[in-house]
Amino acid sequence: MMILGIVVFAVGLLISIAWHELGHLSTAKLFGIRVPQYMVGFGPTLFSRTKGETEYGIKAIPLGGYIRMIGMFPPGPDGRVEARSTSPWRGMIEDARSAAFEELRPGDETRMFYTRKPWKRVIVMFAGPFMNLILAVALFLIVLMGFGISQQTTTVSSVSQCVIAQSENRDKCTSADQPSPAAAAGLKAGDRIVAFNGVRTDEWNELSDLIRANPGKEVPIVVDRKGEEVTLHAKIATNQVAKKDSGGQIVQGEYVNAGFLGFSAATGIVRQDFDESLVWMGDRVGEAVDSLAALPGKIPALWNAAFDGAEREPDSPMGVVGAARVGGEIFTLDIPPTQQLAMALMLVAGFNLSLFLFNMLPLLPLDGGHIAGALWESLRRNVAKVLRRPDPGPFDVAKLMPVAYVVAGIFICFTILVLIADVVNPVRIS
């Protein structure tokens, strides 16, 4: 089953890459830009077929993809694209400029990328990441609304016999501990709480907030016990409990004094409605942005995990190899097949969300770098128009190629580090 999971992730990866490049391809053709190549993967070509003016193909290394558009960079100030320089930095610029024109044909003068208005170039470069965002949202909605996700419910899993501050590292009662309100009220494992202090609810987060908001009060609690509603009465204790953030998530290591009933909630697979799904996805996007911003700070721990045998952190960055391994482990878990499939879809959805956010970074050679260049050109031209100055012309993104090579080098080094960590000390879910 491990192999099946890896294959499922690999197929999802290839579809995600092809879908991304389709966004670039379709909008480029929409705006009349000639696209000689559409490729999924890198390295040697395994299969290709030319249709119209575009060669479509699959390459051997499924770690990305690309389309080639003619005229990605404008010609130099002298109008030439093949001038050479002894400066290595100038050489990079000229190589990039020359590559952008190497397949130029008669009649292509008006079909080059750089000749399109900035807003059209923004659309072409944004379309790729946006396709990943669309796919991520679609997969998330399928899982959330179709399969459901594991979360705490209002059903009682177990009842605490006493009140213990959650900051204390113990679970056994002592003679000094007061009985828990849940135990004193007669709450039992298997009871499903349907109302608390007159408020009917079937959501754990709402029930938890109600309990926390009523310390010291005696409240009625209605439970469904084997199909019959039973009303219990409990005096809510004041206890030190884990702090929650604005999204209802537990803040590790922080505690507050709040109401305490004294039971553990059972977990179950719960389908979300559309509004709940939007909130859940919004939370995940926020977490993904935070993780991306925190990425540089995770490099030391990643290095230690790769070379010093340190424990791999659960939120450690993962590459394609690590994600494929997790995809394989999903299908070895002792859970229903539907939940295995749901987890696999979640993995592919998360991968697409990461692709969207990563590609939107305003750095060359990423899509966000080209978007930033087009926006800067638009700003320059509009300012010149307002000030009645000569049109400065297209912004020469090729001049940023030395920076792009540095950024690409950093990305490659980081990718190699992640690959080593994924092989020698992988993130595991089982």
Q: Sign of the C-alpha dihedral, residues 8, 14, 17, 21?
A: negative
Nearest 5°: phi and psi at 334?
-85, 70
Q: What is the residue whose two structure tokens read 């590790």? A: 252
CA 315 to chain centre: 12
- Which tokens in the block code for residue 310? 């340190």
- The one-letter amino acid at 126: F
Beta bridge mates, 110: none
Instruction: State yes or no: is 276 an active-site residue.
Output: no
The answer to whether the Cα torsion of 188, 193, 195, 196 is positive or negative is positive
185/167 Cα distance (integer angstroms): 24
Q: Which of 21, 94, 329, 377 is catalytic?
A: 21
In the chain, the N- to C-terminal Cα span, in Å, equals 14
Q: How does DSSP classify residue 421?
A: H
Q: How far is CA 389 from the centre of its chain?
A: 44
- Contact between 145 and 269 under an 8 Å Cβ cutoff? The reply is no
In 3D, which of 320, 293, 309 has the Cα closest to residue 415? 320
Give 343-366 as a DSSP string.
Answer: HHHHHHHHHHHHHHHHHTSS-TTS
Tokens of 63: 């770690």
Contact 201, 180 (CB under 8 A): no
Task: Kindly give, in sequence order, each residue whose CB lies less than 8 Å from that of residue 222, ignoring residues fewer than 6 positions away.
Answer: 193, 194, 195, 196, 200, 229, 230, 231, 232
Smallest CA-to-CA distance from 27 within 56, 57, 61, 67 is with 67
Structure tokens at 364: 């060359």
Residues involved in catalysis: 21
